[in-house]
Structure 1
Amino acid sequence: MSIAAASGGSKRRRGLGDLHDDVLERVLARLPPSAFFRLRSVCRRWRAAASSPTFLHACSLLPSRDPWFLMLSSHSPPIAFDAADRSWILPSRASAAAATDAAVPVASSGGLVLYRSPHTGALSVSNPLTGATRALPSPPGTAAPLHAVAMYGSPYRVALFAGDIHDGMSMAVFDSSTATWAPPLALSRKAAPPHAAAADDTAEVVYFLSKSGDVVSTNMQRSASKQYSSAVVTSSSGGVTAYFLSDSGTVVACDTARREYAELPRILPVYFEYSVDVVACGGAAYAVVLAEQLDTASLRVWEFVAAGDGDGEWRQVAAMPPAMSHAFYGRKADVNCAGHGDRLMVCVSSGDGEANGCFMCDVSNNRWEELPECVNSDGVEVNDFLAAFSFEPRLEITV
């Protein structure tokens, strides 16, 4: 006699409702992160599972998730791009944390994003997936100008780099495990490479494209989100180096373990107009440069390769196909970048709004693709992104 006959002639199909709670939680933990927003609306059992500590533990057992890129526009709320689904996540919890005190993202690490108030300088950390937010205590007071903000590690740390790049900088670090700031530490300046000496000649006026796409001289004017942004690289030994742009457009590298920094040589000569941003991905820091030459525009990715004794050189590691980059010729376009793993996102915004676009590059094989159009909740295309920050969407990450 068959099992079906013994049970009355029918076989009941088992569904998710028949799973034990811990099995159900492990299944739900494997759903795409974008589905987490809808878990609580399915049924009371799923709502309870989504809030369970064991469910969060099941999420933590997954080794990694594809990144999301938090994108900021001048006329639209923040929007996230899901690299796994190649889709845009319209405003929801992913942008809720930006509503406090007009705070804007300035850094990200792991599954967290760091926000800073342009008015007060107050810092807060948020998990964009859950909306959980934590205000950081006020950093040690200093009259020195702030140059860059970096976020790294787990437990996470926040580093503020301030001072005069030519006369000496300092670094103040917040440790989330102790919830305290360490007193500011002085950073020593390394000698510039011989061929970088011309970049330090303050008698010359250096012209370049600002982060807003305008040709300026001497001082770089950047958006509130990118003004203090940095690219952080962690070595195999655990050392952390933060890279950021100086006011004059040079790349500054700060070794937090050795407490020293150096201005790297310029990629392009003086009096050459270009837009530049620094980004970290694949365990390395890169400078992404959009420049015009020979009646066309080129977008290239450069890595600084040290040669010892403070010397080194920039080497090109990737370049956008000319058929793509030529569209930005004559547009006074600006580049803003974010990286995660081997992925490098490049947002290009032109001064006239006619040649905007978002592109993803796999740096390891120099493969480029243009991302699909982003349409907001009002049905309007959004493509004037001023900043991008990458994070790994994880429910279990606490602030």
Structure 2
Amino acid sequence: MASAAFSFPAAPPAMESRIWRRLPEKLLERVLAFLPPAAFFRARAVCRRWYALLFSDAFLELQLRLSPRRRWLLFFQHDLPASFVYSGEPAAAAPPPRHGLLFDPDEFRWRRLPFDAVVPPDFYPAASSGGLLCWLPLCPGPKPLLLCNPLSRLALQPPPSLRHRLLPSVGFAVGETSLVVLLAGDDLISPFAVKNLTAERLLIDGLSGRYTPWGAPAAPPPRLCNLPSGRMIFHGGSFFCMSHSPFAVLSYDIAGDVWKKLQAPMKRFLRSPSLVELAGGVAMVAAVEKRKLAVPRSVRVWGLKEGGWAEVERMPAAVHEEFAAEERGRGFEAVGEGGTVAITIRGSGAVLVFELRRREWRWLPACPLLRNGAACGGGGGLRGFAFEPRLATPALGLLQAAPPTPFPFQG
């Protein structure tokens, strides 16, 4: 019997050091600018010159221009702000997170992002955009914001908002030459007082030179709305957020300073609705539940079109059965970035992901960095944020160059 022939993969060709060591510095920096963030930080350990690239304005500008856009998911393990019950002070709950759990799709693995040296201990993550995270304090009163870049560890604190709030709904949008923050909701911190819905914004546009500080008049949200604490979705120059009891969708046009109210799809039968960014548009993820409804219970995704809402996807029955067994009616929250939607379950470390391009639902691998394993005690769990990793975030420079607030708020 003839012996079977085995073939082994050829060894990679050796890199000729006499050639590569003479590579021009400018060409070498262009190569490094294309590296994923994890690979870049490993490469910084090679020599002092590479280590200093993170502090080189020329390299950061090159990296900002050439680096491929990456869409990651960043999670925090803590109680959601909406779970706090007002009783003079926030209810006893798990402390704000001191590190984030980053899922790296390039290497399909979990990573830990510490924030101890950057973020004060009483702040919680509220929104993300353009490579920056926006943090707010849990205590009632005027809201001092903290904006930080988790990769470069740079942080800056804008002037605090002027109205007293507990846990507002937060809109946060960062561009290459612009930054806008919108805080909206009830400006009275007692649940026994009459609601007084207000909004305030901080807007900086480097191209036009426009600067709108806190205290400049802003249109209030529509009456008879109930804005939960949470983040807003930015699309087409407007912020979108949910109003509960009954469910509705609100939009705020930044340029026109105008609020609009949109009817939510199947609003009488929704549970745990979330607005997400999906494929460059606005979408809603929610459970549809009613015993006498002609269709079975499911989790659905709707996209906002010019003519209204259109169903994009419905969770398959087999996946929904697994999801319902894990969720057990505790509630869930969704976050979207690009063509991906991630659903986190309250009180659980499980994450279910929907990929629009493949029309595929799948569970992320269990995170080995979670406290107490996959299950989270109390009412906590994971809260997800869409995160675009960037070494350079020019928006922080806009804040440093902005003039101080020219007048105090009255009334």
TM range (shorter): 0.7 to 0.9
Q: Which amino acid aligns with 2:230?
A: Y
For the 8 Å contact 2:286–2:301, the answer to whether it is kept is: yes
Of 313, 316, 319 in structure 2, the residue corresponding to residue 318 of structure 1 is: 313
Work out whether 1:282 is the aligned partner of 2:279.
yes
**What is aligned with 1:127?**
149
Q: Which amino acid aligns with 1:397?
A: T
User: CA 1:390–1:98 in 2, change beyond 3 Å: closer, same or farther?
Assistant: farther
Of 173, 180, 205 in structure 2, the residue corresponding to residue 152 of structure 1 is: 173
Q: CA deviation at 1:375?
A: 1.0
With structure 2 as the length reference, what TM-score do the two structures score? 0.71
For the 8 Å contact 2:134–2:148, the answer to whether it is kept is: yes
For the 8 Å contact 1:146–1:160, the answer to whether it is kept is: no
Matches within 5 A, 1:257-276: 257-270=255-268, 272=269, 274-276=271-273
Q: Residue 57 of structure 1: SS of its match in structure 2? A: helix
For the 8 Å contact 1:33–1:393, the answer to whether it is kept is: yes
Of 124, 131, 135 in structure 2, the residue corresponding to residue 111 of structure 1 is: 131
1-structure distance, mates of 2:179, 2:106: 25
For the 8 Å contact 2:339–2:356, the answer to whether it is kept is: yes
- Structure 2 gaps of 5+ residues are 1-14, 79-93, 188-193, 397-411
For the 8 Å contact 2:119–2:146, the answer to whether it is kept is: no
Q: Which amino acid aligns with 2:201?
A: A
More displaced stretch, 363-372 vs 66-75: 363-372
Q: Could you list the per-position Cα deviations for residues 318-364 of structure 1 after superposition, in whole angstroms to 9, with x for gaps in the alignment?
A: 12222111123360142222222222222233x5x4xx521322335
Q: CA deviation at 1:55?
A: 2.1
Matches within 5 A, 1:232-247: 232-234=234-236, 240-247=237-244
Q: Which amino acid aligns with 1:175?
A: I
Q: CA deviation at 1:386?
A: 3.4
**What is aligned with 1:83?**
105
Of 158, 161, 181 in structure 1, the residue corresponding to residue 184 of structure 2 is: 161
Give the count of matched residue pairs: 341
For the 8 Å contact 1:290–1:335, the answer to whether it is kept is: no
For the 8 Å contact 1:96–1:128, the answer to whether it is kept is: no
More displaced stretch, 284-293 vs 161-170: 161-170
Q: Residue 396 of structure 1: SS of its match in structure 2? A: coil
Work out whether 1:338 is the aligned partner of 2:335.
yes
Q: CA deviation at 1:304?
A: 3.5
User: CA 1:39–1:246 in 2, change beyond 3 Å: closer, same or farther?
Assistant: same
- Structure 1 gaps of 5+ residues are 1-10, 192-199, 203-218, 235-239, 308-312
Q: CA deviation at 1:382?
A: 6.8
**What is aligned with 2:364?**
371
Q: CA deviation at 1:288?
A: 0.7
Of 49, 52, 63 in structure 2, the residue corresponding to residue 48 of structure 1 is: 52
Q: CA deviation at 1:123?
A: 0.1
Q: CA deviation at 1:229?
A: 0.9
For the 8 Å contact 1:245–1:278, the answer to whether it is kept is: yes
**What is aligned with 2:190?**
none
Matches within 5 A, 1:1-399: 13-14=17-18, 16-62=20-66, 64-74=68-78, 77-92=99-114, 95-96=115-116, 99-119=119-139, 121-139=143-161, 141-142=162-163, 147-154=168-175, 155-162=178-185, 169-175=198-204, 177=206, 181-187=213-219, 227-234=229-236, 240-248=237-245, 249-270=247-268, 272=269, 274-292=271-289, 297-307=297-307, 313-329=308-324, 331-349=328-346, 353=348, 357-363=350-356, 366-376=359-369, 380-381=373-374, 385-398=381-394, 399=396
1-structure distance, mates of 2:279, 2:135: 24
1-structure distance, mates of 2:157, 2:221: 32
User: CA 1:144–1:111 in 2, change beyond 3 Å: closer, same or farther?
Assistant: closer
**What is aligned with 1:195?**
none
Q: CA deviation at 1:78?
A: 1.5
Q: Residue 318 of structure 2: SS of its match in structure 1? A: helix
Q: Residue 314 of structure 1: SS of its match in structure 2? A: strand
Q: Residue 135 of structure 2: SS of its match in structure 1? A: strand
Q: Could you list the per-position Cα deviations for residues 169-216 of structure 1 after superposition, in whole angstroms to 9, with x for gaps in the alignment?
A: 43422327477615333427779xxxxxxxx7x9xxxxxxxxxxxxxx
**What is aligned with 2:401?**
none
Q: CA deviation at 1:393?
A: 0.9
Q: Could you list the per-position Cα deviations for residues 111-134 of structure 1 after superposition, in whole angstroms to 9, with x for gaps in the alignment?
A: 111111112521011111111100
Q: Which amino acid aligns with 1:88?
A: W
For the 8 Å contact 2:127–2:385, the answer to whether it is kept is: yes
Q: Which amino acid aligns with 1:302?
A: W
Q: CA deviation at 1:292?
A: 3.9
Q: Which amino acid aligns with 1:67?
A: R
Q: Residue 175 of structure 1: SS of its match in structure 2? A: strand
More displaced stretch, 172-181 vs 360-369: 172-181
With structure 1 as the length reference, what TM-score do the two structures score? 0.73
Q: Percent identity?
A: 26
Q: Which amino acid aligns with 2:110?
A: W
1-structure distance, mates of 2:267, 2:278: 26
Q: Residue 156 of structure 1: SS of its match in structure 2? A: strand
Which protein has the bigger strand share? 1
